[in-house]
């Protein structure tokens, strides 16, 4: 049973205040301890003894008021403890969220009566090496993207999987996506839609110079190495929120992460229902 609830809100979204006030009041009336960051507490004109990091260390349930971007931030924040996340869509598409503001309190009743299941999602781990020296690392739920950055030039990369040569790719970049991320940037670049329960990764070229470079599925246990062989810099971004600059000769590695993201789902809706509702998949 969840007793300590953290709330993460969409940044600088002042219109969220009425919903936040009702949510906090409801939780407290049901004897739940509510953890608010200073930024969120200020929306209610409250002070709080907690810091933003306490959302990750003290909560056993995370409620997200926002869209997919806020969900990705929450997943990264609580990844080490795999705190269950209930997403309430207050953004645009809201593909990762599970409920809406209109159904929020009905959904919470289901959660606290244990009428839900946990949808466990694979995460990605990425490292950057420069002249054999480790210089950066980060994780992602959706994808790791290596792209040409602000310059209009194509980049060239050397791709290996499990130390075996795969291909040299010239184009605007390359996406390594999890099954969760298969409906994000990878889909826009021509990648396949993957059921999120699959244990695979998808490698999707971005505008490849050679049309025979098509998306490739690999096992989730694969170790993917991408070396930037063009001389000008490129940008690695994780979930579109964390970024690093790569220089010519740098290597980006991507593999399955050691932690998983757990999303709260309700039995009356399947992943395929979400595909039809959110992406209009299969509409004729």
- Domain check: are 128 and 236 in the same one? yes
Residues 155 and 232 in one domain: yes
CATH assignment of the domain containing 238: 2.60.200.30
Longest CA pairwise span in the chain (Å): 61
Same domain, 77 and 186: no
Domains held by the chain: number: 2
Q: Is there a domain that residue 160 lies in?
A: yes
DSSP 183: G
Residue 162 in domain: yes
Q: Check residue 272 and give its pLDDT.
A: 92
Q: Phi first, then psi: what are they for 40, rounded to 5°?
A: -70, -40
Same domain, 111 and 170: no
Residue 202 lies in a domain: yes
Query: Could you tell me if residue 245 is inside a domain?
Result: yes
What is the overall mean pLDDT for the chain?
94
Sign (positive or negative) of CA dihedral 59, 196, 143, 98: negative
Q: Which domain holds residue 59?
A: 4-116+266-279
Kindly report the pTM of this predicted structure. Answer: 0.94
Instruction: Map residue 97 onto helix, strand or coil.
Output: coil
Position 61 scores a pLDDT of 98
Do 28 and 101 have their domain in common? yes
Instruction: State residue 152's pLDDT score.
Output: 75
- Is residue 65 domain-shared with residue 158, that is, in the same domain? no
In a domain, 214, yes or no: yes
Q: Is residue 274 part of a domain?
A: yes
Q: Please list the ranges in the chain whose pLDDT falls under 70.
A: 284
Residue 59 maps to which CATH number?
Answer: 3.40.50.10330
In a domain, 55, yes or no: yes
Q: Are residues 137 and 239 in the same domain?
A: yes
Verify whether residue 268 is a known catalytic residue.
Answer: no
> What's the CA angle centered on 224, arms 220 and 228, to 5 degrees?
155
Q: According to the model, what pLDDT value does residue 150 have?
A: 75
Give the pLDDT of residue 238. Answer: 98
The one catalytic residue among 68, 119, 143, 172: 68
Q: Is residue 284 part of a domain?
A: no
Tell whether 77 and 196 lie within a shared domain: no
Residue with tokens 């924040």: 77
Over 71-103, what HEC string results?
Answer: HHHHHHHCCCCCCCEEEEECCCCCCCCCEECCC
């Amino acid at each position: 049973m969840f007793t300590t609830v953290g709330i993460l809100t969409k940044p600088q979204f002042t219109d969220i205040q009425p919903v936040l006030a009702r949510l906090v009041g409801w939780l407290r009336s049901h004897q739940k301890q509510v953890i608010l960051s200073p930024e969120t507490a200020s929306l209610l004109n409250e002070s709080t003894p907690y810091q933003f990091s306490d959302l990750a260390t003290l909560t056993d349930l995370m409620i997200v008021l926002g869209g997919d971007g806020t969900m990705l931030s929450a997943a990264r924040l609580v990844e080490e403890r795999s705190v269950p996340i209930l997403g309430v869509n207050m953004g645009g598409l809201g593909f990762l969220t599970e409920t809406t503001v209109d159904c929020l309190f009905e959904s919470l009743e289901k959660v606290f009566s244990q009428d839900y299941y946990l949808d466990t999602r694979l995460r990605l781990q990425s490292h950057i090496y420069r002249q054999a020296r480790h210089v950066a690392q980060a994780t992602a739920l959706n994808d790791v993207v290596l792209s040409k950055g602000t310059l209009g030039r194509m980049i060239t990369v050397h791709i290996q999987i499990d130390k075996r040569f795969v291909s040299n790719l010239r184009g605007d970049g390359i996406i390594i996506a999890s099954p969760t991320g298969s409906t994000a940037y990878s889909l826009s670049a021509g990648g396949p839609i993957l059921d999120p329960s699959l244990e695979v990764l998808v490698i999707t070229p971005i505008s490849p110079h050679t049309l025979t470079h098509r998306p490739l599925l690999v096992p989730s246990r694969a170790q993917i190495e991408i070396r930037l062989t063009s001389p000008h810099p490129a940008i690695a971004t994780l979930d579109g929120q964390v970024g690093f600059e790569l220089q010519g000769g740098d290597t980006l590695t991507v593999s399955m992460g050691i932690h998983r993201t757990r999303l709260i789902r309700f039995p009356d809706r399947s992943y395929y229902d979400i595909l039809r509702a959110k992406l209009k998949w299969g509409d004729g």
